[in-house]
Structure 1
Amino acid sequence: MRGSVPRALAAMVIVSGVAAATWSAGRGDTAEAAVTETRVVLSDDFSGDRGGEPDGDVWTATGSGGTARLDGEGRLALGSALRTETIFEQESGHVEARIKGDRADGAWRALGVLDASGRVPAGQPEILASDQVDSGDFHTYAIDWTPTTLTWSLDGRQVLRFTPEQKGMPKIFVLNGAAGGQNSSGMLVDQVEITVQVPVDTSSAKQWKAFIAYKAGDLVKYRTVVYRVREAHTSLPDWKPDLVPALFEKV
């Protein structure tokens, strides 16, 4: 995960991503699209001076008596709990954090979820696999959510599925440095990134044609797929979007 987002983007809300599309074709040249795009909405690599605090526009401390300080090497030393300032209302998404801590198990404790009121949500958990880890190394904790489930994974391996009573509930995410109990010395957090699925407006997409001057960023339809123009060019008959990936990317 480290290196995928430059340190200059620490604690920013940014918009980028890769899109996926599902189409239902109509008559003639028309088609109705259900298109979603993956966007990074929070990325924090905890850069900053040693002893500094995490970005208050991104994180809110919970409880008392704990600590949350930057170590000056791009990590957060956390002995308390931090929750996201943002409440995430998107129907689906992915949150991922690289964490090293004293706990040998408890993925749902290290990276947790609260409802919009800040409470642990009611629901049904299902254990999928052991979540024991070597506490001396960094591990990737992640949660994938849909309107009906939250699924925890640890180093890419699914370990817990949770079905909340409230479908599509708004979510707050928590880094819990106090999850190891009274004898815990906390944890180090290397980076946190949250991506969500959002709808893409494709109403401006025009049917691809030859001998048309396209600008970078234009949306064009070819058959039942929408493409985004990568580079400005004038189309030629053989430059169909599915044949020239250097000029077109699928949305």
Structure 2
Amino acid sequence: MLSGSLRRALAAAVVVVSGTAAVTVTPTAAVADTVNRVVLRDDFSGDSGAAPDAGRWDTDGDRRSSPWLDGDGHLLLGSALRTRKTFGQASGRAEARILVNREDGARRPLGVLGADGRAPDGQVEVLGSDRADGDDFHTYAVDWTPATLTWSLDGREVLRLTLEKDSRPYSFVLIPASGGGYRSSGMVVDAITVTARTTTPTASRSAPAWRAFTAYRTGDLVSQRNVVYRVREPHTSLPGWDPNLVPALFLKV
């Protein structure tokens, strides 16, 4: 049964019973998927003594202590190492399993650099303790949005930075420092993964011509005069309910 508002909308439609030429063109509508996708991953597999993948990493100009692989799936480094790729997506997450002696400072082992190559400015909010021992690996992560950066340690949110401005695109930097600078204390990294919320087009869907006396479901695509519409509400069409006349039932896409 149609609602009162829908009845009023349909009452305003011009009823056309005959004289309308059949629509033979079948346009298509592009369909897009928005999902979390892995945009960078490195498990540091490789021969002992080999350098990390130069396509993924930049030593940030510091050659004092070159990073190397241990041959068992770990990266060993004594100076900062940043991702070569940058990430401009509206939201995402960088996560790394790291062994480092760290009393505090969750954002130091896994740092964030903005488009200008500097750490973003903003208001810091401490959410919990970020102390971690150096006897085992811990999972450091940072989630970003246009307005915030939020660090977590082993699944617990520990620090949030409310940004003064959107600093994207971001790069991420592994920092084996025990203090506020880049002083080396050594770091072992098991793996790093960066995922981002991305929208990608998928195969187009054909939109059959709208027809009277047809049962439509919410989300169905129909076409009329080379324009594609999406059905708003389930209904059985009647003459005169064609999409351009009944916006209560059809959304132009």
User: How would you bin the TM-score normalised by the shorter chain?
Assistant: 0.5 to 0.7
Identity score, percent: 53
Q: 1:182 Cα shift?
A: 8.5
Q: Contact (CA 8 Å) 1:152, 1:158: kept in 2 or not?
A: yes
Q: Within 5 A, what are the aligned runs for 1:239-250?
A: none
Secondary structure, counterpart of 2:107 in structure 1: helix
What is aligned with 2:39? 41
1:64, distance to aligned residue in structure 2 (A): 4.0
> TM-score by structure 2 length?
0.65
- C-alpha contact (below 8 Å) 1:149/1:164 kept by paired residues: yes
Distance in 1 separating the partners of 2:192 and 2:171: 14
TM-fit CA distance, 1:108: 0.3
Cα distance in structure 2, aligned partners of 1:66 and 1:78:
7
Residue 67 of structure 1 is matched in structure 2 by 66
Q: Residue 91 and residue 168 in structure 1: after superposition, are their counterparts in 2 closer, same or farther (change >3 A)?
A: farther
**Which residue number corresponds to residue 125 of structure 2?**
126
> In the alignment, which residue of structure 1 is the partner of 2:237?
none
Closer/same/farther in 2, CA of residues 150 and 182 from structure 1, 3 Å limit = closer
Post-superposition, which runs of at least 4 consecutive aligned residues in structure 1 deviate over 4 A? 31-35, 179-184, 222-225
Distance 1:34 1:123 in 2: 34
Structure 1: which amino acid aligns with 2:195? T
Structure 2 CA distance, aligned partners of 1:134 and 1:224? 53
Deviation at 1:50, TM superposition (A): 0.8
In 2: Cα distance, 1:128 partner to 1:86 partner: 29
1:109/1:206 CA distance change after superposition, 3 Å: same
**Mapping 1:66-85, distance limit 5 Å:** 66-85=65-84
1:129-140, aligned counterparts within 5 Å?
129-140=128-139
1:16 is matched with: none
The 8 Å contact of residues 176 and 183 in structure 2, kept in 1 or not, is answered as no
Deviation at 1:205, TM superposition (A): 3.6
Give the number of aligned pairs: 184
Preserved contact between residue 49 and residue 68 of structure 2 (Cα < 8 Å): yes
Whole-Å separation in 2 of the counterparts to 1:32 and 1:157: 40
Deviation at 1:129, TM superposition (A): 0.4
Rounded Cα–Cα distance in structure 2 between residues aligned with 1:119 and 1:192: 21
Question: In structure 1, what is the equivalent of residue 233 of structure 2?
Answer: none
- Superimposed CA distance per residue, residues 138-160 of structure 1 (whole angstroms, 9 cap, x where no aligned partner): 00000111111110011100000
**1:188 and 2:167 correspond:** no
Q: Is 1:110 matched with 2:130?
A: no
Aligned-pair CA distance for 1:206? 5.4
Deviation, structure 1 residue 167: 2.0
Q: Do 1:146 and 1:168's aligned partners in 2 also have CA atoms closer than 8 Å? A: no
Shift of 1:168: 5.5
Q: Distance in 2 between matches of 1:149 and 1:37?
A: 20
- How far off its partner does 1:169 sit? 2.3
Look up the match of 2:150: 151
- How far residue 66 of structure 1 moved from its aligned partner, in angstroms, is 2.4
Deviations 1:10-51 (A, max 9, x none): xxxxxxxxxxxxxxxxx9xxx998851111111100011111
Q: Which runs of 5+ in 2 are unaligned?
A: 1-8, 10-28, 208-216, 221-253
- Of the three residues 53, 56, 74, the one matched with 1:58 is 56
**Where does the alignment leave 5 or more consecutive residues of structure 1 unmatched?**
1-26, 208-221, 226-251
- CA–CA separation in structure 2 for the residues paired with 1:84 and 1:51: 20
Q: Under a length normalisation based on structure 1, what TM-score does the superposition of the two structures give? A: 0.66
Asked which structure has the greater RCO (Cα within 8 Å, sep 6+), the reply is 2
- Whether the 8 Å CA contact 2:138–2:154 is kept in 1: the answer is yes
> Which secondary structure state, in structure 2, belongs to the residue aligned with residue 193 of structure 1?
strand
CA distance in 1, matches of 2:167, 2:119: 15
